[in-house]
Amino acid sequence: MVQEILKVSPVVVIPNEHSHKIQRNNFILNGKPKFAFDSIENALKDFAEGEFVIVVDNEDRENEGDLIIAAEKMTTEKMAFMVRYTSGLICVPTVPARLDQLKLPLMVPNSTDRFKTAYTISVDYKHNITTGISAHDRALTARSLANFAITNPEEFIRPGHMFPLRYTEGGVLKRIGHTEASVDLCKLSGLKPVGVISELVKDDGLMARRDDCRAFADEHGLKLITDEETLNRTWNLVAELCTQLASNREQIQSLEQQVIELQNRADEFTGPLIRASIRAPPFESGTSEIERQNVRLIYENQQLNEENASLSSLVKEYETTLQVMMSKFRLQAHEIQQSKLQMQREYESLLEKERRKNAQISLENVQLHLHLTAVGNLVRQAYDVQTDLDTEILLESLCIENLGLREMLGIDPNNTHFQDEKVTTSISSTPTTSNGCSNPATSTKLSSIDGIIRSSSASNKNTISNRDHY
């Protein structure tokens, strides 16, 4: 029944709404790239067959991924795989009734853990183990905890190497955590409510986050879901449909009971009266009391049958109306989802344009800095040179850098030209500033550079004139 209900799976975070089935759920969180989760149906199918499932919690909580498997499906090979790729601390979440049966109290009465993870006393299975830490021993302990035929607390050694966790009744609807998610997966898969979990760890020793868990799941062919979105909405859907089905079933049973009572009443009175009428003299008057009662009861029986048919029609109409309302809710949820996705895409597009614009501005600033640095170096060298030839070469280089700077800033290089023997700089006017630059600060810098070039050129000519005079 649960598998039939789960043919409709949640898509995005829309409280109390459900939409059509998809293979993966796409999320966009805080402007980050889309993140893909697997569908709950596929995850439950693999989980019921004894495969691992990776469950990640909220990024604002632990932001970790747990490798989860049903305890009754645990093997030595799977335990070795879990120890290899996780922290190695293997926990066994289960329902409170099982822990109470085995007399496994909480590890501490008042936990100071901010997530309130309910650790109990650690255990090992008593039989057919060595030290309890090997993959074989821990797998056997997990299967024994899931074997409800073992009811004697003395069958388990304490303390041990496996850490049972106390499940919160109500599951992920009451507490969002890997403990509740693992037991809920067992329940939804029709398995005993005992799971085995451990946190995924990367090769460098750091905890595996969402992207790491997605890559690990793809590498090993595992399903990845989230306890916050998927399981929560799955349980909401199951609870809602079960409540509605129970209500419908009660109404149908009530109607059926009324019909049975009415039929019994009709049979109770009609039978004796008919028999009495048959035994009556053949020529007795038709207005006798027995015949009148017989006709009245037959008529009442017909009326009851008509009312029964009317009630059945009302029940069918109610069920049809319920189906139409559920279809409308799913359609509205899908429309809201598409609207949110469109808004998110537009927001990402604006962010990308702004990033490109900032990158272009940064590149232009770097180029401007490089050009100004080159011009400054050339000017300093021009004041330090000793020969006319070096001065002319530096002035030529300075002019080239000046032209390159103007081209980079989008200023017409033809506004600046050089005459009067070796180099003479004259600056043409534009509607904005004297050198064609619309930026006042940049215009001032370019005017200063042009003045330096003219001053250096004039100084060079005076030096040559004085030398010729002597």
Q: Which residues are catalytic?
A: 62, 66, 91, 119, 124, 161, 178, 199
The pLDDT of residue 76 is 98
Residue carrying the six token digits 């966009």: 28
The pLDDT of residue 57 is 80
pTM for the whole structure: 0.47
The pLDDT of residue 160 is 97
The pLDDT of residue 376 is 76
Local structure of residue 33 (DSSP, 8 states): P
pLDDT along the chain (470 residues), means of 10: 38 32 37 67 94 87 87 98 97 97 95 91 96 97 97 96 95 86 91 97 93 95 80 61 65 75 62 49 53 74 82 85 87 88 90 91 83 76 65 75 72 50 38 46 58 60 50
The pLDDT of residue 330 is 87
Task: Give phi and psi for 106, each to the nearest 5.
Answer: -65, 150
Tell me whether strands 53-56 and 223-226 are parallel, antiparallel or unpaired.
parallel
C-alpha to C-alpha distances, 221 to 42, 69, 70, 214, 232, nearest whole angstrom = 12, 14, 17, 10, 24
SS3 of residue 328 by DSSP: helix
C-alpha to C-alpha distances, 442 to 227, 377, 405, 423, 427, nearest whole angstrom = 57, 18, 10, 23, 15
* 118 contacts 179 by C-beta, under 8 angstroms: yes
* 55 contacts 181 by C-beta, under 8 angstroms: yes
> Is the peptide bond prior to 93 cis by the omega test (within 30 degrees of 0)?
no
Q: How many CB atoms lie within 10 A of CB 132?
A: 20
The pLDDT of residue 326 is 87
